[in-house]
Chains A and B, each alone.
Chain A
Amino acid sequence: MPRLPAILIATALLTAALPARSDDWLEFRGPGGASRVKQGSLPVELSAADVRWSADLPGRGLSGVLVVGDRAFVTTSDGPTQDRLHLVCLSTSTGKILWDRQVWATGRTMCHSKTSVAAPTPCSDGKHVYAIFSSNDLVCFDLDGNLQWLRGITYDYPNVSNSLGMASSLLVTADTVIVPVENDSESYSLGIDAATGVNRWRLDRPKGANWTSPVILAPGLVALQSKTGIEAIRATDGSTAWSYTDGADTVSSSALADGILYVPSNGITALTLDPADPAKQPTQAWRENTLSPATASCVVAGDALYTINGAGVLTAGDRATGKRRWQLRIEGPYSGTPVTDGKHLWAVNEAGLVRVVELGEKEGKVVATLDLGDEILCSPAAADGALYVRSNTKLHKIGR
């Protein structure tokens, strides 16, 4: 295995000094959006018996699941116009719904038939859950279902919407909820006080449909991605720390791992953050256009990164150089981003086939397959030895 550059090690140390995260899954694609889990924490051999429970959900959706302690959180929508918006809390041990809180959409619910009003993944600070919907209704509940505050972003700014549907997920850092609501018309990202729901800042963003999700670069510093590139924003005041302007995808999102931001830009472009000050302009480590993520975002673990293209081909790239190592066709299409522990990768295609891929230096190999028999469009969550995936009707727990 090639040695990782010193910058990776230095940044890993920096990250280790940050407030520790537990085994929870608190945001879209987990910490840094890298979709990484602890090595050996997920089951490699899968059978139907590994589906611990499958819980009925009160509505549709393709948002990802959060896991906070012994509770799982997921959003759904239902009703004739999909204007009933749910945040549902389930027990991770039994799948029983502990509480279900509804609000009504105050913004438009029109979206493409493949997506849903419950498309964006919520986020949590470990004490609260922040959830947003395609209608741009934003709610904050504590873990017991007590409403802390709510907003109607389209109610406030009536041209914030996308007729195909909004899908960008939330983040919370530095007591600020990062709310990207970027679209063709009134295009913003907002920083909202996590305690009160009041704007800290509202940033004009490039006009254009944008379904990508932000990434926390460091506490209080987030990367916003758009067709123009990446802007690193200070969460507390919305000021720009640095910009990368070579363009970026508007569907698949960036991933941060060990101080390097992997941006879906001209293939994948790796930006190395300053380990002493991530708010300083990063340097470009490499760019590799043979790595081409489609809907699913790239994932990073060990000394490699992985993308799945529109043809369902999994590509492994060298993290130090970006050079392609191997490719493996794993029948797609994939809407959700896989998770990996560096030795294996768990990918769930739209047909509901969970594949475990053994990740070798020179090749990848499918070592297990589990058919959930359910259309899966979400990105899986991974916590406490289990995968959580949801469909339009069910939430499945797979593993321990």
Chain B
Amino acid sequence: MVSHPRSPAALGAVAFLLALPGGGVAVASPVTDALPAIRAVDHEGKGNAAAAKAWSVIAAADASALPDILAGMDGANPLAANWLRAAVDAVVTKAGGSAKLPLDSLVRFLADSKHDPRARRLAFDLVRGADAARADKLLDGMVEDPSVELRRDAVAKVIARADALKTGEKKEEALAAYQKAFSASRNVEQIQALATTIRELGGTVDLTGHFGFLRRWRIVGPFDNTEGKGFATVYPPEETLDLSAALDGKEGKVLWQPVETGDEYGVVNVNLSYPPPAPPADAKPADSDSQEGLKGVIAYAVTEFVSAEDRPAEIRLGSKNAWKIWLNGSPVFEREEYHRGMEIDQYRMPVTLRKGPNTILIKVCQDEQRRPWTTEWEFQLRVCDEVGTAIHPLGGPDSAAK
């Protein structure tokens, strides 16, 4: 994640204590008494001193307190969750290992998908450490689990069954099983491996639609980014989005133009829109380190995402260029880093979509380095929920023909 709302100081400390599995009310104990101090920690070390005292109480607890400690992670900020995560280790170590853990309570905790996904995954790991067969059986009901890691392991079981079918030369059944696994998976490596296998078996997959990559944009540029100064420069698209206007670019007037990437991972290669001018016929061969492509430039890309409802979502971006993103005119995040790498879901940005049209604007900056690894001027962007399930605009996936 790249942005985190600052949590309210009180953080509903009393409310969460009531939220036990089955709606029961927690019995006050040293652990439940200590949890509010842990949950009050916040940015820049706020609450650390009180949390340290509370931690020593929780870490000294009996293993029977583990479900309460795990429940303490529900709605907690990531720092508070980490205090509790470390406490779980201390409790388990003190208990002498996983064999002495309250497995039935942990399984009940795990079964309640309203609990924090990471806490549930931790409960699963504790159960698995004590009784691997029991844990493995639990996975059968988790292919659609809100915990990405639990879902990943559940999908891995489906893949193992599909592999067995494939080995037994039951191609059609294997393909169906792989398709089921593909549909359920939210793990990038798993999805990519499944896509390869399904295609080898003659099946089809829609990677663009599965991830929810946006393929259709309007793009304008290039604007000046000499010495990287354009990153902070406010060019017209940041002030007014008039897609019919001719704008003052780096070398003259520039116009918005439609772009539709054919890359199934939604990579928009900006270089294709702005190829460098052809060198003069008598030019010397380029330096072996130099690469083609405009340098010291900026482009803007915009798309409209029509949401069926007001809802929380994540914009997930990959880019090895510096960038800024706005949603409906409001800045979401920015990053000034060039050519350090790019991957799917490199940046996760929680946002709120509004019902109807939403405008996503991205500024993509290219620096002036001229090395082989500095050629790329590109991005890939998708809209999904916090689990990674694609949220499609009204009208269907952006992979569909329109």
Question: Judging by beta carbons under 8 Å apart, are B149 and A79 in contact?
Answer: yes
Q: Known contacts being A146-B90, A149-B51, is A184 close to B343, with CB within 8 Å?
A: no
Say if the beta carbon of B256 comes within 8 Å of chain A. Answer: no
Q: Known contacts being A146-B56, A149-B48, A155-B79, is A185 close to B336, with CB within 8 Å?
A: yes
Question: Judging by beta carbons under 8 Å apart, are B44 and A101 in contact?
Answer: no
Which residues of B have CB within 8 Å of A148? 52
Which residues of A have CB within 8 Å of B48? 149-150, 196-198
Say if the beta carbon of B180 comes within 8 Å of chain A. Answer: no
Question: Judging by beta carbons under 8 Å apart, are A162 and B340 in contact?
Answer: yes
Say if the beta carbon of A102 comes within 8 Å of chain B. Answer: yes
For the complex, what is the distance from the CA of A289 to the CA of B111, rounded to whole Å? 64
Question: Judging by beta carbons under 8 Å apart, are A196 and B49 in contact?
Answer: yes
Centre residue among B320, B333, B336 by max chain A CB count within 10 A:
B336
Which residues of A (100-154) have their CB < 8 Å from a CB of B?
100-104, 106, 108, 110, 112, 137, 139, 141, 145-152
Question: Judging by beta carbons under 8 Å apart, are B337 and A147 in contact?
Answer: no
Which residues of B have CB within 8 Å of A184? 336-338, 340
Centre residue among B43, B85, B187, B340 by max chain A CB count within 10 A:
B340
Centre residue among B49, B89, B336 by max chain A CB count within 10 A:
B89
Which residues of A have CB within 8 Å of B90? 99, 101, 145-147
The interface size of chain A toward B, counting residues with CB under 8 Å, comes to: 41
Closest Cβ of chain B to A150, distance in Å, is 6
Question: Judging by beta carbons under 8 Å apart, are B337 and A80 in contact?
Answer: no
Closest Cβ of chain A to B38, distance in Å, is 10
A-contact 0/1 string along B165-197, CB 8 Å cutoff: 000000000000000000000010100000000
B-contact 0/1 string along A179-205, CB 8 Å cutoff: 000011100000011001111000000
For the complex, what is the distance from the CA of A146 to the CA of B53, rounded to whole Å? 11
Say if the beta carbon of B262 comes within 8 Å of chain A. Answer: no
For the complex, what is the distance from the CA of A209 to the CA of B336, rounded to whole Å? 12
Say if the beta carbon of A163 comes within 8 Å of chain B. Answer: yes
Question: Judging by beta carbons under 8 Å apart, are A100 and B45 in contact?
Answer: no
For the complex, what is the distance from the CA of A99 to the CA of B3, rounded to whole Å? 33
Question: Judging by beta carbons under 8 Å apart, are B78 and A152 in contact?
Answer: yes
A-contact 0/1 string along B51-89, CB 8 Å cutoff: 110011001000000000000000000110111011101
For the complex, what is the distance from the CA of A145 to the CA of B88, rounded to whole Å? 12
Instruction: Output the nearest chain A residue to B152 by Cβ-Cβ distance.
Output: A80
Question: Judging by beta carbons under 8 Å apart, are B93 and A99 in contact?
Answer: yes
Question: Judging by beta carbons under 8 Å apart, are A196 and B45 in contact?
Answer: yes
Q: Known contacts being A150-B82, A199-B44, is A164 close to B340, with CB within 8 Å?
A: yes
Say if the beta carbon of A158 comes within 8 Å of chain B. Answer: yes
Partner of A102, one of B86, B187, B334: B86
Question: Judging by beta carbons under 8 Å apart, are A147 and B87 in contact?
Answer: yes
For the complex, what is the distance from the CA of A139 to the CA of B85, rounded to whole Å? 12
Say if the beta carbon of A41 comes within 8 Å of chain B. Answer: no
Say if the beta carbon of A50 comes within 8 Å of chain B. Answer: no
Which residues of B have CB within 8 Å of A192? 45
Say if the beta carbon of B358 comes within 8 Å of chain A. Answer: no
Question: Judging by beta carbons under 8 Å apart, are A147 and B346 in contact?
Answer: no
Which residues of B have CB within 8 Å of A185? 335-337
Question: Judging by beta carbons under 8 Å apart, are A147 and B44 in contact?
Answer: no
Known contacts A193-B45, A198-B45, A199-B45; can you find 19 more A-B pairs with CB under 8 A? A80-B187, A99-B89, A101-B89, A102-B86, A102-B89, A103-B82, A108-B2, A110-B343, A112-B341, A146-B90, A149-B52, A150-B48, A151-B44, A158-B3, A159-B336, A164-B340, A183-B337, A185-B335, A196-B45
By a beta-carbon cutoff of 8 Å, the part of chain B in contact with chain A is: 1-4, 43-46, 48-49, 51-52, 55-56, 59, 78-79, 81-83, 85-87, 89-90, 93, 118, 149, 152, 187, 189, 320, 333-338, 340-343, 346-347
Pick the 4 closest A-B CB pairs, nearest first. Answer: A163-B340, A198-B45, A103-B82, A149-B48
